Amino acid sequence: MNISETSNWVCDARQRTIDLVADIPEDQLLPPKLDIINPWLWEIGHMGWFQEKWVLRHKLGRKPILDNADSLYDSMAIPHDARWDLPLPNRKDTIKYLIEVRDRVLQYLSGNEIDDEGFYFILLTLYHEDMHGEAFTYTRQTLAYAPPAFIASGEDSNRDIPKTDNLSRDIEFAGGRFLLGANKNQGFVFDNEKWIHAVEVRPFAIANKAVTNAEFAEFVIDNGYQRQELWSQPGWRWRQNEKTPLYWKKDSDNNWLIRKFDKWVGLEPERSMIHVNWHEAQAYCKWKGRRLPTEAEWELAASMDRSEVDEQACQRKRLYPWGNESPAPHQVNMDWASVWTVDANSLAEGDTPDGCRQMLGNVWEWTDSDFLPFPGFVKDPYKEYSEPWFGTRKVLKGGSWATRSRMLRNSWRNFYEPHRRDVLAGFRTCAPEK
């Protein structure tokens, strides 16, 4: 790992954390208590504490900067609802703490004494901060705050991305013996991606792009939310209190509007559907006569060609849909480059060789697979990252418009409970099995 690049990433991640809350008034840093969000003031302090814990204290054996930091910011020890009632430092002192931790990590990086374990813990805390940065983004959406102030215009320009004719179609894959998961030579990966292992994948056909607003609106108009036969039992129980997609409403002329942060705008038909949960995605699929892809099917489509797969070929599977070069803005909608999803027809340069579009970025994509450990799973030092959630969540793949491109790859596994639709998730579909 390059020391200079890592140092730049550490600075960038910390500045992004600060920027994401810089415009929030002091009296709103402790927002209403909701199950799906954390109080801002607690969460930004948690970023500094997590980095200090694993890099400065665990790896380097140093004493805490704040004597009471564990009693304030340890997410595994402090119940969620108690975080609003803690004697937290004010914003100024919290930011001071964040900068102090950052500077000590940078000092460690500059000393040329860093080993592989040191890089591991720095990257662990960096990606942890990146993930919380995305959570800050959908918290702002949940609370109807304006877009983050660091986005210069504060408006959604759709980036003026060229759009190509990309009619919805299925791409057929022969299937075979696929190696699912991360290779040991990939550098940093999380424990739930370890390690590559063989799974049998039947022939399948997957949509070349994610479901759009227009396509999902057809399901809504056809009373999809009122037809119990389209929903699983858990899905129908969830749906009892929900009649439309999240952040959708009708205007006086009976046209759909969608709320983007603090503004209601007309529903753009060709943009990828977002803020949809697993139950909704599954009901849509049943209505359409289709299904969600499995995790293995999704990863195979992103990393392999259509021809029959075998274990030898899988040893050369792609890190990213287009190849092994890191993501660039002309290939993906990530890193807050747009203040929302972009047109599902855009970003053709990020296609797989077979034509699957936007498999990284724009929206996280639900799969049909439960979040479970891979064979031989061994917990990493951050024991609470994966193991407590096995069997209770569904796997998502691919990343969203607010995900940091530096941390993603085809093998990355995100995971959320099936009822969550505040997260930046959509989905693509597969043809029914033959």
The range of the structural domain enclosing residue 381 comes to: 152-434
The span from the CA of 229 to the CA of 288, in Å, is 13
Which of 7-16, 103-112, 190-199 is predicted least confidently?
103-112
How is residue 109 annotated by DSSP? H
**Which residue, 351, 326, 348, 330, is CA-closest to 404?**
326
Q: Write down which residue in 142, 164, 185 finishes a domain.
A: 142
Could you tell me the pTM of the whole model? 0.95
Q: Decide: residue 26, CB within 10 A, 0-12 exposed, 13-18 middle, 19+ buried.
A: exposed
Say whether both 267 and 371 belong to one domain: yes
| Confidence check: pLDDT of 151 > 80 | no
pLDDT for the residue numbered 161: 53
Contact predicate 273/400, CB 8 Å:
no
User: Looking at residue 417, which CATH number applies to its domain?
Assistant: 3.90.1580.10
pLDDT for the residue numbered 185: 86
- 154 pLDDT band, cuts 50/70/90, is very low
| Confidence check: pLDDT of 434 > 90 | no
Q: Write down which residue in 120, 142, 164 finishes a domain.
A: 142
Mean pLDDT of the chain: 93
Residue 345, classed as helix, strand or coil, is coil
| Confidence check: pLDDT of 156 > 60 | no
The answer to whether position 225 is within a domain reads yes
Predicted confidence (pLDDT) per residue in 209-244, tens digit: 999 999 999 999 999 999 999 999 999 999 998 889
Q: Write down which residue in 123, 142, 161 finishes a domain.
A: 142
- Residue 97 belongs to what H/E stretch? helix 91-110
pLDDT for the residue numbered 351: 96
| Confidence check: pLDDT of 173 > 60 | yes
Say whether both 384 and 246 belong to one domain: yes
Predicted confidence (pLDDT) per residue in 16-58, tens digit: 999 999 999 988 899 999 999 999 999 999 999 999 999 999 9
- The percent of residues in the chain predicted with pLDDT above 90, rounded, is 85
pLDDT for the residue numbered 2: 86
Predicted confidence (pLDDT) per residue in 336-361, tens digit: 988 899 999 999 999 999 999 999 99
pLDDT for the residue numbered 165: 57
In the numeric block, the tokens 């009649």 are attached to 243
> Stretch 265-273: mean pLDDT, rounded?
95
The answer to whether position 147 is within a domain reads no
Q: Which residue has the higher pLDDT, 148 or 82?
A: 82
Say whether both 135 and 196 belong to one domain: no
- 139 pLDDT band, cuts 50/70/90, is very high
Say whether both 76 and 198 belong to one domain: no
- Into how many domains does the chain fold? 2
**Which residue, 153, 132, 127, 209, is CA-closest to 339?**
153
The answer to whether position 102 is within a domain reads yes
Q: Structure tokens of 43?
A: 């969460």
The answer to whether position 77 is within a domain reads yes
Contact predicate 184/242, CB 8 Å:
no
Say whether both 172 and 215 belong to one domain: yes
Say whether both 160 and 134 belong to one domain: no
Say whether both 128 and 57 belong to one domain: yes
> Stretch 389-398: mean pLDDT, rounded?
98
pLDDT for the residue numbered 162: 53
- Residue 235 belongs to what H/E stretch? helix 233-239
* Stated length of the chain: 434
The answer to whether position 308 is within a domain reads yes
Say whether both 423 and 381 belong to one domain: yes
Say whether both 327 and 264 belong to one domain: yes
| Confidence check: pLDDT of 157 > 60 | no
| Confidence check: pLDDT of 164 > 80 | no
Say whether both 181 and 257 belong to one domain: yes
Contact predicate 386/425, CB 8 Å:
no
Beta bridge partners of 198: 179
Relative orientation angle of helices 116-142 and 40-51, to the nearest 10 degrees: 170
Say whether both 80 and 156 belong to one domain: no
User: Looking at residue 21, which CATH number applies to its domain?
Assistant: 1.20.120
Say whether both 293 and 407 belong to one domain: yes
